[in-house]
Amino acid sequence: MIIKVAGLPGVKTQQTIMNTEEAVSSVRATAEVEWINDVHEIMQMGAIRTPSLFINDELKTSGRIPSVHEVKTWITEARRN
């Protein structure tokens, strides 16, 4: 599973990374959380607002901090597919 957080350095991005890492640990998923902070790469990914969260290259949320519960749900859904 590939999980990417796209966003520039800041509180919202860091909180998104922390919530995502906590969710990964909680559901014992085999995944790395990658932080994308290059503006050009963020634009190529299609992230219009940041922070944005992608699981297996699918945009899950953009422009807000997802809760740990939300991320756990998305990880569980991605495992089924």
Span 42-71, pLDDT tens digits: 999 999 899 999 999 999 999 999 999 999
Do the beta carbons of residue 61 and residue 13 sit within 8 Å? no
Name the CATH architecture for the domain at 2-80. 3-Layer(aba) Sandwich (3.40)
Angstrom distances, CA of residue 59 to CA of 27, 30, 75: 20, 19, 12
Question: CB of 4 within 8 A of CB of 54?
Answer: yes
Tokens (6 digits) for 58: 């699918």
Q: What are phi and psi of 76, to 5 degrees?
A: -60, -45
User: Where exactly are the structural domains of the chain?
Assistant: 2-80
Model confidence pLDDT, tens digit, residues 1-25: 999 999 999 999 999 999 999 999 9
Q: Does the pLDDT value for residue 41 go beyond 90?
A: yes
Residue 81 pLDDT more than 90? no
User: CA–CA separation, 16 vs 66, rounded Å?
Assistant: 6
The answer to whether the pTM exceeds 0.85 is yes
Average pLDDT of 29-46? 94
